[in-house]
Amino acid sequence: MDNQILSTTFQQQFGTAPALVAHAPGRVNLIGEHTDYNEGFVFPAAINFGTWVAASTRDDNNISVIAMDYGNQHNEFALTDIQHDESQGWANYVRGVIKVLADTDVEFGGANLLVTGNVPQGAGLSSSASFEVAILKAISALYELPIDGVQAALLGQKAENTFVGCSCGIMDQLISAMGNEGKAMLLDCQSLSIEHSPLPDSHQIVIINSNVKRGLVDSEYNLRRQQCEQGASLMGVASLREATMDLLETTKPHMPDVVYRRAKHIITENARTLAASKALKSGDIATVSEAMAQSHVSMRDDFEITVPPIDFLVKIIDEVLGKSGGVRMTGGGFGGCVVALAPTDKVEAVKQVVEQKYFDETGYTADIYVCTATQGAFA
């Protein structure tokens, strides 16, 4: 995003120049799907698409926010009376974040905010977490609040859980806040410990947006979460992080089949995520490739969150990459994106096979993004 365009638009809308511009990246998850709210392991990278917020303080206690991407829609509310907005859904991310921040013991006043982003909406690349973290970065920078990246991530997650109404885990906000340039992040969602792994110079992150709109994602997401909690409860563990395949098999006779398969996905996905992050450190791409392939099969058959156009994309890209790279669906499911870790010399072949075969098979046209891993807002 050109900061000059942002500053000029801010000046036009608010009559003054912004005091600062904050940025938070979106993310792609290389492996570890739906494990985050089960206190497991995820392996995302922050990407060079994100949200920008131009900001300045106000003399009153109002937050005035304009969304460039929604035709400069304007939303204003008082810090002392933050309600859900039924008419402008995007504004609830701002309202929720400001509300949870106001509920802490930090002190801040009003602000003028101008927001824009280039994370594809509804693609599963976490435009919402990028939005939340960027707002938190802007307010904390304006008022010099003592907030670090982990605190910001927890506040963003709380806003989405309690105000927006999606039971997301911590991954999206934490990678947006704490990502490192050129690296993927192994995140332990139980302890919130972070370990950064360099991505190989020989490979690129390629994101293919299926352009299948992610229908049912919130209701199905919340249902998957309930099924995982039921599985943990039947096994007598606090979360599926504590479960093993042996324990799952022992408990299987007393468990609905659908709950068994959901739990199986989480337990095996945690193991795959650890294996893939370890293999990447030693340059063992074949192991990463196998882990990503198994992850996709598990999401398709056990967690049941893929759709036929996504499965087709994975199949044709896998035929190009073989063991030289990996490919799987990424994100919450029911549409959205496929992520590939592709050797640089095969990126063009991936693009070509998608362009040649995907539309004819599915009737959808895919968008392809070649990404770099970028720095988080608070890193």
Amino acid at residue number 261: R
Which one of the listed residues 172, 302, 318, 360 is annotated catalytic? Answer: 172
Does residue 241 contact residue 38 with C-beta atoms inside 8 Å? Answer: yes
Using left for φ > 0, alpha for ψ between -120 and 50, and beta otherwise, residue 141 falls in alpha
User: CA 222, CA 216: separation in Å to the nearest integer?
Assistant: 10
- Could you give the angle at the alpha carbon of 337 between the alpha carbons of 243 and 29, nearest 5°? 45
Is 59 catalytic? The answer is no
3-class SS string, the chain: CCHHHHHHHHHHHHCCCCCEEEEEEEEEEEECCCCHHHCCEEEEEEEEEEEEEEEEECCCCEEEEEEHHHCCEEEEEECCECCCCCCCCCHHHHHHHHHHHHCCCCCCCCEEEEEEECCCCCCCCCHHHHHHHHHHHHHHHHCCCCCCHHHHHHHHHHHHHHHHCCCCCCHHHHHHHHCCCCEEEEEECCCCCEEEEECCCCEEEEEEECCCCCCCHHHHHHHHHHHHHHHHHHHCCCCHHHCCHHHHHHHHHHCCHHHHHHHHHHHHHHHHHHHHHHHHHCCCHHHHHHHHHHHHHHHHHCCCCCCHHHHHHHHHHHHHHHHHCEEEEECCCCCCEEEEEEEHHHHHHHHHHHHHHHHHHHCCCCEEEEECECCCCCC
Q: Is 81 exposed, middle or buried (0-12, 13-18, 19+ CB in 10 A)?
A: exposed
Residue 100's closest CA among 11, 166, 24, 163?
Answer: 163
Residues marked as catalytic: 172
